Amino acid sequence: MLNQSWRISDKEYEYLKAVLDSGFPGSSTINFTAKLEQLFAEKFASKYAISFTNGTATLHAALAAAKVGAGDEVIVPPLTMASTSFAVLHCGASPVFADIDPATFLISAESVKACITPKTKAILPVALYGLTPDMDAINAIARKHKLVVIEDNAQCFLGKYKGKVAGTLGDIASFSFQNSKHITCGEGGMVTTSNPEYAEFIRKFSSLGYGNVSAEPGKSKINKSDIVKPDFTRHICPGYNYRMSELCSAFALAQLERLEMFVTWRKKCAAGFAGAIKDVSWLIPQQTPPECENSYWTYTVKLNAPEIKWDDFYNKFKEFGGDGFYGAWRLTYTEPYFSKIIPDEHKNCPVAEATQPYLMQFKTNYGNDSDINKQADALYKTISYFQ
């Protein structure tokens, strides 16, 4: 039995209790959301951090802030969780799929270039598995064509690119606190940006377009003394009520305070898996370029041995005491819904198609050496079995 209790400390209980004990009186006496946002902005070197219900709502808000709307196109990778593309659809726009790089499994800047049309409004690169794409190349394309760059960092906490933390590499960035992520509160998300106009729009969008909420510190919540008045004007723009609850903020703050520890364990775990495959030519790990620091949401390898079936490898890994692993999501445009609505000329990513079926995403959320060794050992034994 693997020990997962390490993910939750006394702090989570303490902060949750503080919210419960407060009796939910409103923002005046207790405001974990503001503390969470302030600390997140600090850790992610951004002027603003705005909390959300999840990391899909964050993408929707970021795209809306970039004025993505009906008739526009947004360039996305096909190898990712489908929220990336769903958020584009939420804005009434169309996802256009750029192929991936065969070594990093990330959106390829060359392929992005080929996807640009007069309708392109934004690029939405995904820091898949904890690794940032080639952001200098992507930003250069964006500058040339006046596009907005939105980082989908749902899987990348404290990953770095040329010394800069993920979340500061584009115009706006999105993070997820869903269960499997580096830090969690069950479901939740965060947007970072250093652009005051985007921040202001995103804060209002996350509420119900309230006129008196703002991205500035201390102004995240509606002002009670104003709204009691019968002639108070509330809604000045569209809003989706995507705000994070105080309970989730309290939990997420306790997690955020220990973020570095969570990332360190993920990296340790990845190092264990890397050790197990180091002499194996037919397991190809996601390649981390020298200018990047991978935060290893998962340790992902491509099974490059036609005679070994993915399912057989999975079953043997479990037999040897492994905790299982995930296959990659089907390419978004091959999912039934997307397949119907995406035109055929936008379903052309041969590298992603040749990669996705063979990926194995090993989990990295273990918080002690014994569990990490057990997983690495199971991988080592599985490899020896198939050698």
Ligand X SMILES: Cc1ncc(COP(=O)(O)O)c(C=O)c1O
* Positions that interact with ligand X (CB under 6 A): 54-56, 80-81, 83-84, 126, 152, 154-155, 176, 178, 187, 189
- Looking at the Cβ atoms of 99 and 200, the one nearer to ligand X is 99
- Looking at the Cβ atoms of 298 and 382, the one nearer to ligand X is 298
CB of 270 to ligand X, least distance (A): 17
As a whole number of angstroms, the distance between CA 171 and CA 198 comes to 9
Residue 100, Cβ density class (10 Å: 0-12 exposed, 13-18 middle, ≥19 buried): buried
CB of 56 to ligand X, least distance (A): 4
- Looking at the Cβ atoms of 178 and 288, the one nearer to ligand X is 178
CB of 179 to ligand X, least distance (A): 9
- Looking at the Cβ atoms of 123 and 277, the one nearer to ligand X is 123
- Looking at the Cβ atoms of 365 and 382, the one nearer to ligand X is 365
What residue is closest to ligand X based on CB?
55
CB of 159 to ligand X, least distance (A): 13
User: What length is written for the chain?
Assistant: 387
- Looking at the Cβ atoms of 53 and 220, the one nearer to ligand X is 53
As a whole number of angstroms, the distance between CA 110 and CA 116 comes to 11
CB of 152 to ligand X, least distance (A): 5
Tokens of 259: 């973020």
- Looking at the Cβ atoms of 55 and 95, the one nearer to ligand X is 55
- Looking at the Cβ atoms of 155 and 220, the one nearer to ligand X is 155
- Looking at the Cβ atoms of 178 and 300, the one nearer to ligand X is 178
CB of 387 to ligand X, least distance (A): 33
As a whole number of angstroms, the distance between CA 264 and CA 294 comes to 11
CB of 49 to ligand X, least distance (A): 15
- Looking at the Cβ atoms of 106 and 165, the one nearer to ligand X is 106
CB of 95 to ligand X, least distance (A): 13
CB of 382 to ligand X, least distance (A): 26
As a whole number of angstroms, the distance between CA 261 and CA 271 comes to 15
CB of 339 to ligand X, least distance (A): 20
Q: What is the radius of gyration, based on Cα positions, of the chain? A: 21
Write the secondary structure of the chain as one string of H (helix), E (strand) and C (coil). Answer: CCCCHHHCCHHHHHHHHHHHHHCCCCCCCCCHHHHHHHHHHHHCCCCEEEEECCCCHHHHHHHHHCCCCCCCEEEECCCCCCHHHHHHHHCCCEEEECCECCCCCCECHHHHHHHCCCCEEEECCECHHHCCCCHHHHHHHHHHHCCEEEEECCCCCCCEECCEECCCCCCEEEEECCCCCCCCCCCCEEEEECCHHHHHHHHHHHCCCECCCCCCCCCCCCCHHHHCCCCCCCECCCCCCCCCCHHHHHHHHHHHCCHHHHHHHHHHHHHHHHHHHCCCCCEEECCCCCCEECCCCEEEEEECCCCCCHHHHHHHHHHCCCCCEECCCCCHHHCHHHHHHCCHHHCCCHHHHHHHHHEEEEECCCCCHHHHHHHHHHHHHHHHHHC
